[in-house]
A and B are shown apart, each in its own frame.
Chain A
Amino acid sequence: MTQIGLSREWVQRNLNTIIPISGLLVLIIALRIANPYFLASWDSVITLVYGMSWFLIAACGLTLVILMGSFDFSVPSVLKLSAMIFAVLYPSLGFFSILVSLIVGLVFGLTNGILLARFNIPSFMATLATSMVAEGLAQVISGGYTRMITDPAFRAISTTMFLGLPSIFYWAILVWLLSIFMTFTTPFGRTIYAIGGNIIGTRLAGINVKKVRILVFMLCSLLASLSGILYAAQIQGAHMQVGVLDMIPLFASVVVGGTALTGGVGGVHRTLLGVLIIRWLDSGLSMVAIDLNVRMIVFGAIAIIMAILTIDRRRIKIMK
């Protein structure tokens, strides 16, 4: 009897680990059955890597924000704006345009953080507003046109092959590992979890909550920006459709990994799982010719279901 009780408790406690891992296994088997070419050749692996790498970088940033219990809508827009700045300025500035692009990303993050921490505006509202501004700016600087860059050096930052894999893969893994290292072993990472867990207590413990919040939003936008730059290099340019449909999959991959919307639970290490699931599901569904809109619906539904399952209910008194 106790054995059953124990195991049931264990399942409940580890629900947000069990679901994504078993989901991933089921997904791999299903995709393999549906499409015998799935992961069958090295080329298909590389295609998947291209599909996932830039996405993982942006998702890591978003995870940090969600861990604090906040939300950042501006990730796809900042991603698009950065890609656009990089592509538009590259002909004149060369690789300095990367620097400009990253600085613009940081400015957006700073704005988001200040709006939340100083002006006390709910983060979803603040980032919704800044995302509109970023979209608008992208429109203004590009004039709404697609910018193609044919210079091979431009592409090289993402597509140089090393040990059979493109460089963007190593960028992504590096960002992921650094994020894990930061959240697990540094005081800064620990305070991100603390803010998500109990912001009042964290403030009373003498931690500069405002500073940490602003820094995390800056980090999130910086990663979005980096992701945009690498993506632009990968697709040789930028256009207004970049990032448009990424908010839902990004959000879905963070919560599917097991990071709770209420903050303080989960982590960047889980986001890799979420990204694998969402991107494989995406490519799997498109392989069997499922409409893009339906895929979005599927991701939205998955995200909400996982959000319901992972929320830490012990803590919630009043949910707004």
Chain B
Amino acid sequence: MKNNLEKARIGSPVITSTLRLIKGNPAIWAIFGLIMIFSVIVPEKFLSTGNLIAILKNFAVTSMLAVGPTFVILLGSIDVSYMGIWMFGGALVWLLYPYLGLASILIYPIFGLMIGLFNGVIHVKAKIPSFILTLAVTAVFAFLTTYVRNISGVLTLTVPAYNFLRESPIPYLPSPFLLALPVILIALFLMFFTKLGTYLCAIGSNEEGSKLAGINVEKYKILAFTISGLLTGLGSIAIFVHLGCQTRVDFDPSELVRGLAAIVLGGTPLAGGMGGPHRTLLGALVYVLIFNGLFLLPGVDPNHLKLYIGTLLLGAVVVASKALKGALIA
């Protein structure tokens, strides 16, 4: 123990912290490995500028679905309301655009915040398992979105006025990625530079102990859900822009799995207490790399996407299950 301390002082802080980072985030190895494999097998396709930009875009979308819920997973609970926030938030933006003008995009974070708060309060006060609760919320809002589309008599819920957001001011960096960046920074700030990250880990690691240490557990649980909703709301703007300033109108479970897969692949255990948004970002990158590279390979049928996603998630949860040993789980 003492030796470690000495080493840490002697060695350059950059190197030691990098080493620590790699040691704590096995997903980094996976990222290196995937890049190597695809660069060797399909170098022209994989390393083309267009494909790298596509990877960045998809990374932005996947990470925006997963970064918010990571805060809830730290607690050992789960939040899959992101599909609902993303879909119906977009419908609200579309509905309110005639009245609010360009400001209607702000509906996204507000709606996310409200749903997050609702989830938190119901989960904590009525003691409904978070997964079932947030799944029901997602389902309700997803169907509501389809309903809005149906009664409006349109095919898509597009707001062309936001098309200016699709132009990126910086070459090679697509605008969804730029829009996602602030959300990522906020998440990392909350995790590492405020007490929130510590508290959520503490509650996930030992709820009773956290109570004894004087933490208002209920408050922070609600806060975690609220932040999850808020970040998803903000992040949904990036997805909205990525899809061509429109929202999804039909519910697809494979999109739901995408967020969960990113979290699990990043190495945040579902039991809570460890990990954080940094791992989720890495996990999102792993997810995007796998599917980007996969479909560049000859003989891979994009129609079988669901089968691949299911198998990948299955493999990921089995690997991640090591952290859950010992407890009897429902």
In the bound assembly, the distance between CA atoms of A313 and B144 in angstroms comes to 31
Taking A131-B253, A311-B127 as contacts, is the C-beta distance between A69 and B330 under 8 angstroms? yes
Which residue of the partner chain, among A129, A203, A291, A308, contacts B313 with CB atoms under 8 Å? A129
Tell me how far the C-beta of A320 lies from the nearest C-beta in chain B, rounded to whole angstroms. 5
Cβ-defined contact, B260 with A263, below 8 A: no
Q: Is the interface of A mostly helix, strand, loop or mixed?
A: helix
Cβ-defined contact, B76 with A320, below 8 A: yes
A294 CB-CB contact with B under 8 Å: yes
B130 CB-CB contact with A under 8 Å: yes
In the bound assembly, the distance between CA atoms of A130 and B318 in angstroms comes to 12
Stretch of B28-36, B50-58, B302-310 with 4 or more beta carbons under 8 angstroms from chain A: B302-310
Stretch of A54-62, A112-120, A172-180 with 4 or more beta carbons under 8 angstroms from chain B: A112-120
Find the B residue at minimum CB distance from A126.
Answer: B317
B129 CB-CB contact with A under 8 Å: yes
Q: Mark A229-246, 1 if CB is under 8 A from B, else 0.
A: 000000000000000000
Stretch of A34-42, A151-159, A265-273, A298-306 with 4 or more beta carbons under 8 angstroms from chain B: A298-306
Chain B residues with Cβ below 8 Å from A304 are 122, 128, 132-133, 136
Tell me how far the C-beta of A98 lies from the nearest C-beta in chain B, rounded to whole angstroms. 24
Cβ-defined contact, A135 with B136, below 8 A: no
Q: Mark A286-315, 1 if CB is under 8 A from B, else 0.
A: 000001011011001101100110010100
Give chain B's interface residue range (CB within 8 Å of chain A): 35 or more
Chain B residues with Cβ below 8 Å from A128 are 253, 256-257, 260, 313
A140 CB-CB contact with B under 8 Å: yes
Give chain A's interface residue range (CB within 8 Å of chain B): 35 or more
Find the A residue at minimum CB distance from B257.
Answer: A132
Tell me how far the C-beta of A168 lies from the nearest C-beta in chain B, rounded to whole angstroms. 28
**23 interchain pairs (CB within 8 A)?**
A71-B131, A71-B330, A115-B317, A120-B329, A121-B324, A122-B329, A125-B270, A128-B257, A132-B310, A133-B314, A136-B309, A261-B128, A291-B151, A296-B140, A300-B140, A301-B140, A307-B132, A308-B128, A311-B126, A318-B207, A319-B130, A320-B77, A320-B130
Residues of A within 8 A of B (CB): 68-71, 115-116, 119-126, 128-137, 139-140, 144, 199-200, 203, 209, 248, 251, 261-263, 291, 293-294, 296-297, 300-301, 303-304, 307-308, 311, 313, 316, 318-320
